[in-house]
Amino acid sequence: MTDDVINKKRREFLRASALILSGAVLGASTMSNATAVAADHNQNPFTLVYGGAITNNEPGKVNIHPVNYKLNGLDIAANVYTPANYDPTKKYPAIVVAHPNGGVKEQVAGLYAQHLAEQGYVTITADAAYQGGSGGAPRSVDKPTFRIEDIHGMADFITRYPGVDAARLGLFGICGGGGYSLAAAKTDKRFKSIATLSMFNSGRVRRNGYVDSQLQTIQQRLQQASDARAQEAGGGEILYAGDANLTDAQIAALPFDLYRQGYEYYWKTHAHAGSTFKYTMSSLLDLMRWDATDQIELIDKPLLMLAGSKADSLYMTEDAFAKATGTTDKALFRIDGATHIETYWVPKYVDAAMGKLTPFFARTL
């Protein structure tokens, strides 16, 4: 194989991987030496896919309540988790949990929502508008404005839920949901404290490429997004980015841990019918001019940022943390040995994250 062909193949892999990463999805070298323990969403009555997921509601235990509500005219599908021995006549603190880009409420967001409910919180995690089980057309629109509004909408709903103390509301965002949680918390002062896990700055990655690897093609990609919007406006076919179906060999050749492990998590071990990497190409017009750290100094509440010490996405958490100058009550914790995706499911890393989240929310809520 000539050098030209090799370089061409490498460029194809890079292009594919850049499109595939729909915000918080892709991840590490081979999925870790541990075996992923996950549920088959077709076998779980709530279609949950994470290890240890609720299979039926029992008195005296953490329960799950599928709910639907309207947000700007769209039907939003959400799950509310209530703590053991929940009594709607009492008052409980609550936490909004925002899922990764490309993810749905039944995956990692549900895992952490269930664990937080075990700590005594009423929690909610909802599918983003235009995604998963929520309404909106065309499907798989991925615009920051909508994702941020989803978080405000979860706050609207859960603060009116029986037994919730609206004065004790927290926010927890994972991957792409972490970046959007930072943005929501800049202005929504209902959130008394904010935490993120493996925060992914969707705007920066869509604009600059992962690890800022596509700075030379920004204008070209903006033109593609502009052309896609024009085609949509004219009634033509809706174009998508990230809608790739790679072979195992192609996955192994992807240049970043997040990409490789993300494929395993989202397409194999924790797959869910509502979860997809793809997003409308025209969404890039909004994504590429946005950044999770813009005006981040407006956050003046306690802030906890968690990320794997071996995550190739760690640079985004470190950048946002340094810029969050509006609060002095902030902490960054690196989960020793973890990659980005491993913080989603590996028990020892989930336990490490909960070991920080539990005292943080106990103190701030």
The tens place of each residue's pLDDT in the chain, 365 residues long, gives: 333 433 333 334 334 434 433 333 333 333 443 444 565 778 899 999 999 999 999 999 999 999 999 999 999 999 999 999 999 999 999 999 999 999 999 999 999 999 999 999 999 999 999 999 999 999 999 999 999 999 999 999 999 999 999 999 999 999 999 999 999 999 999 999 999 999 999 999 999 999 999 999 999 999 999 999 999 999 999 999 986 677 888 888 888 999 899 988 998 899 999 999 899 999 999 999 999 999 999 999 999 999 999 999 999 999 999 999 999 999 999 999 999 999 999 999 999 999 999 999 999 99
Q: How far apart, in whole angstroms, are the C-alpha atoms of residue 16 and residue 12?
A: 6
DSSP code of residue 84: T
CB 109 within 8 A of CB 275: no
Amino acid at 280: T
CB 202 within 8 A of CB 176: yes
Residue 3 buriedness (CB in 10 A; 0-12 / 13-18 / 19+) = exposed
Q: Is 334 helix (H, G, I), strand (E, B) or coil?
A: strand
> Which helix H or strand E contains 98, and what residues bound it?
strand 92-98
**Model pTM greater than 0.85?**
yes
Q: Do the strands 279-280 and 191-197 form a parallel or antiparallel pair, or are they unpaired?
A: unpaired
Q: How far apart, in whole angstroms, are the C-alpha atoms of residue 139 and residue 141?
A: 6
**Which superfamily does CATH assign the domain made up of 3-364 to?**
Alpha/Beta hydrolase fold, catalytic domain (3.40.50.1820)
Domain ranges of the chain: 3-364
Write down the pLDDT at residue 159. 98
Phi/psi-derived region of residue 302, left when phi > 0, alpha when psi is between -120 and 50, beta in every other case: beta
